[in-house]
Chains A and B, each alone.
Chain A
Amino acid sequence: MARFYVDGNSARFTRKDICLVDMELFGGEIVEDLEPRRLFPVSGRMKYITLLDSEGKEHAIIRDVETLSPESKEVILECLREYYLIPKITGLLERTEKFGILKWTVQTDRGVQQLRIRNRNSDIKQLYDGRSLVRDSNDNRYEIIDYRKLDKNSLKLLSADI
């Protein structure tokens, strides 16, 4: 079955709900209540956004959000911002380790948060571009955009774990 890819101005998106959009195709066809989700939440955050209905059926894939009209782009980005909560860690304020469990107090773009990391080997993943992905004991995700650019104190605290 051929997959329908949305490129450039081939479709217009309007916001329906916090995480839902309506898609109006160039030919006038309208598909309502679609949920935009990233196909590559880690590696390609602006590309290949799938549009799913309430049954989880895919109706289209947006190849690249950047190619959409400014209004449609904003609508999709708003939905994605609401759906994906991956706080960016901007600094490590405190680090303790007890009984093999790491406790970090971090400054994020969403405020200060305390998190517990059960296994530093599997819950802290370092990507090759300096990004680090962190998963806490509750399965919440965090991201360090580039750990090398953190302040000196954070780096010092992090050096034991990254």
Chain B
Amino acid sequence: MKVESVLTNKDVPEVIQNAFNECISPDEQLLFVVVGDLSLKAKYEQTALGVTGKGFMVYDPEREEPLKKYAHSDVADAKVKRMYGNARLRVNFKDGTHEDVFRFTYSVATLADMAANFIENIAAGKSEDEEYEVVCATYEKLMNVCPKCGRTLLHPGAECINCQSKGKIAKKLVKYIKPEVKTLVLCLILSALTTAVALAPPYMTGRLVDKVLPEKNRGALGWIVLALFGTYIFQHLIGALRGYLLRCSGDRIVLSLRNDVYKKAQSLPLGFYDKTSTGSVINRISGDTNTLQAFMLRISQEVVVQFFLGVGIIVIMLVLNWRLTLLSLIPVPLVVVGAKIFRRKIMPFYRRIWRRWAGVVSVLADSIPNIRVTKSFAGEERTVNKFKSYNQEWLNTDVSAAKIATVFPHIVSFCVTCGSLLIWSVGGNWVINGTGGLTTGLLVSFLSYASMFYGPVNFFAYLSDSYQQALSSAERVFDILDAEDEPDEAKGNCPPIKGKIEFKNVNFSFDRTKKVLSDVNITIEPGEIVGIVGTTGSGKSTLVNLLMRFYDQYEGEILVDGVNTKKIDLQYFRSQIGYVQQDPMMFSDTVYNNIAYGKPDAHVEEVIHAAEVANAHEFIARQPDGYDTMLGERGVGLSGGERQRVSIARAVLKNPALLIFDEATAAVDSETEHLIQEAIERLISGRTTLMIAHRLSTLRKANRIIVVDQGRIIENDTPEALMALKGKYYKLVQIQTMADQLAKSKQEENFE
């Protein structure tokens, strides 16, 4: 076999490249290299595994002989042993010996898996060309990363969502401000008016002191007081109107931002929620969006207003007395430098405060919905203590931040006060000496303008504080907004679904530490009823999760009617599946709406029919409010079996092509199980059905059983054939029959 270039995950260091070249015989060619990062002695080193058609070489600088070569023909099998934070490639040789040849972190675990398969399959005599194709596909998938940020792309050539959307925060926030531009501009005009009017009183005060009072001009005094009254009325009326408009506008901004974040949160893959606590997501939707709203208003309004106010005051002050103006500017550089230092110091605190607060919210999100468990285990005190300790942590961090956040503004105020003292001492002397062309009135006006000027200075100094807070909030909000949606490349492709399901070479791990499913190959024909059994944690539910496309980052293919599920419109695909869980969640809504959740436009009689099929109609009819019975968050008011039947009714109403029951009868008594079983049997006729069950009695209708053990399919046949095989399924049946008999005899004893 001839290959154009050697596949590699990184540039192969020259020393390794040379060592490989020396080792390769003229009639063999290097096919691929896995550049590793860990020596066998667990030190970070550049190592490499090079594979040819005839053998493989490992370079490890920590060994006495860094390069070692092995022939495929000597290999009995090659396996990757995953440990904690690292893994090894172990090769068992035909002479009965074994060796750990290559050690690595999870960074190259997938490539090492692929290399182990290649070595083992070539040693077993499989076609080199076919195996090399698998190698190429693995490299292509792994190397399919964004050149900017290194993130794995959805498919070759896809745009990196991460980089594409990471512009400047302001740019992203503009989207939310845009619809409010008219109102905001109007508010700006109103601000400009009030600001301009606000500049008049100091001037009038100066006139009063210099002219009107010394000349005892009562008429002019009356006019000036009236004018001052007018300016105050104008300022406050316009101020109130502007405040109202701004508040409405701000509310609309936060509404739209919150809606977007919530909508996005709905479309995020389950993997996001596996890694992010719900408390932290709620915190982002509620708290962070508010912080951003306040900041957007500050940026779009106050910054402009304060800037022009500052400029206006400086111009007036320069006109009044340029030398005093320069004096009053002395504290400004101090404020600017201080703000810079403040910004650097306060930012980490805001992040810490947020984390602590997210912790507090997580306790809330955990404990309030679980209040029944808490009460039944008398855990109120523990819960309260846990909450207190998290709250205390928040307080401690907030208090540390408060030290910086409060000291800084006081330093600024102190500098500002010192500035006014300077004006008093210098300007006062000028007035007393009659120099500098300064009168008492002018000095009073000047002092008023100077104190007004420190308003914008203070504002810009504090702006960095709110900017830092907003930046920290924006990071977290955009963490959601920019997160990758559930991949849905095939929007609009809605082929009719008959129900043939195929898993082809499926491997999956939630993170890279442990494989949850290994080499799964199953074919299920349309209309088949398949029971999936296995011990807890064997991977049964994960199989279903992958079929439902809750997780998409698996190796291999899952096909429905011959079409890769990733090539089918996600929403359409899920709408074709009826999924009944062990602990069905009910929404805080009526029984009717809970049943009609998957088909909100269903006719009343369809809903009633669905409830009948699910054996739910009778108990609903017995409720005083019938179908209008309100349910709590967890279906409060209904027993476990009743909730289960409501959830089956939900599935019935959807009329799905595929049905999945995940331990649907695990948590109910035998009588309810019988009712549910009856409902299930009505529902499954003619539909491809997957039934995960611990209770094997649930599977009496199944015409095929798949036994999953440690992520592998170990048995797959009819129940009769598996009983005859006397394997794992047989053992499970034996154990359960014994347990059932024991329970039955105990029951009988009790009756007697």
Contacts and interface: CB of A to CB of B under 8 A. Distances in A.
| Real binding pair | yes
B44 A108 contact: yes
A152 to B, nearest CB: 15
Given A85-B83, A160-B351, A111 B166 contact: no
A139 B511 contact: yes
B151 interface: yes
Interface string A99-119: 111000000101111001001
Contacts of A83: 83-84
A140 B107 contact: yes
Chain A interface size, as a band, is: 20 to 34
A41 B475 contact: no
B148 interface: yes
Given A82-B83, A160-B348, A100 B475 contact: yes
A116 B150 contact: yes
Contacts of B512: 138-139
Contacts of A18: 88, 100
A15 to B, nearest CB: 14
Contacts of A138: 105-107, 109, 512
Given A111-B43, A113-B44, A160-B347, A99 B86 contact: no
B346 to A, nearest CB: 11
A136 to B, nearest CB: 8
Given A85-B85, A86-B84, A159-B348, A100 B42 contact: no
Contacts of A98: 148-149
Interface in A50-95: 56, 82-87
A162 B45 CA distance: 28
B617 interface: no
Interface string B85-104: 11010000000000010000
B499 to A, nearest CB: 34
Given A110-B43, A121-B476, A160-B348, A101 B84 contact: no
Contacts of B150: 101, 116, 137
Contact of A141 (B44, B85, B166, B348): B85
Q: For B42, B43, B45, B475, which residue has the most chain A Cβ atoms within 10 angstroms?
A: B42
A140 B479 contact: no
A84 B710 CA distance: 21
A19 interface: yes
B85 A86 contact: yes
B607 to A, nearest CB: 41
B163 interface: yes
A150 B479 CA distance: 29
Contacts of A137: 150
Contacts of B355: 121, 126
Interface in B1-43: 37-38, 42-43
A8 B208 CA distance: 95
A6 to B, nearest CB: 21
A26 to B, nearest CB: 30
A2 to B, nearest CB: 19
A25 B619 CA distance: 59
A41 B84 contact: yes
B590 interface: no
Interface in B157-207: 162-163, 166
Contacts of B513: 139
A122 interface: yes
Interface in A113-162: 113, 116, 119-122, 126, 137-141, 159-162
Contacts, number: 91
B150 to A, nearest CB: 6
A84 B84 contact: yes
Given A101-B162, A110-B44, A85 B100 contact: no
B86 A85 contact: yes
B403 interface: no
Contacts of A56: 710
Interface string B282-315: 0000000000000000000000000000000000
Nearest to B511: A139
* Of B84, B100, B150, B476, most A-chain CB atoms within 10 Å: B84
A122 B228 CA distance: 57
- Majority SS at the chain B contact face: mixed
A141 B479 contact: no
Nearest to B710: A56
B163 A99 contact: yes
B44 A85 contact: no
Nearest to B105: A140
B358 interface: yes
B276 interface: yes
Interface in A1-59: 18-19, 41, 56
A43 to B, nearest CB: 15
Contact of B166 (A41, A86, A99): A99
A30 B355 CA distance: 50
B540 to A, nearest CB: 16
Contacts of B710: 56
A109 to B, nearest CB: 9
B280 interface: yes
A140 B85 contact: yes
A84 B84 CA distance: 5
Contacts of B166: 99-100
Contacts of A140: 85-86, 105-107
B482 interface: yes
B386 to A, nearest CB: 13
B148 A99 contact: yes
B358 A121 contact: yes
A101 B149 contact: yes
A41 B513 CA distance: 14
A112 B83 contact: no
**Most chain A beta-carbon neighbours within 10 Å: one of B86, B355, B478, B513:** B86
B265 to A, nearest CB: 15
A100 B482 contact: yes
Give the interface centre of A87, A138, A161 by most chain B CB atoms within 10 Å. A138
B44 A112 contact: yes
Contacts of B163: 99
B275 interface: yes
A126 B359 CA distance: 12
Contacts of A86: 84-85
Contacts of B106: 138-140
Given A111-B45, A141-B84, A101 B151 contact: yes
B571 to A, nearest CB: 27
Nearest to A81: B42
Nearest to B393: A128
Contacts of B81: 19
B731 to A, nearest CB: 13
B530 to A, nearest CB: 25
B83 A84 contact: yes
23 contacts: A19-B83, A84-B84, A85-B42, A85-B84, A86-B84, A87-B44, A99-B148, A99-B162, A100-B162, A100-B166, A101-B149, A110-B43, A119-B275, A119-B276, A121-B276, A121-B280, A121-B476, A121-B479, A122-B275, A126-B355, A140-B86, A140-B107, A160-B351
Given A19-B83, A122-B275, 7 more contacts: A85-B83, A86-B85, A101-B150, A101-B151, A122-B276, A139-B513, A160-B351
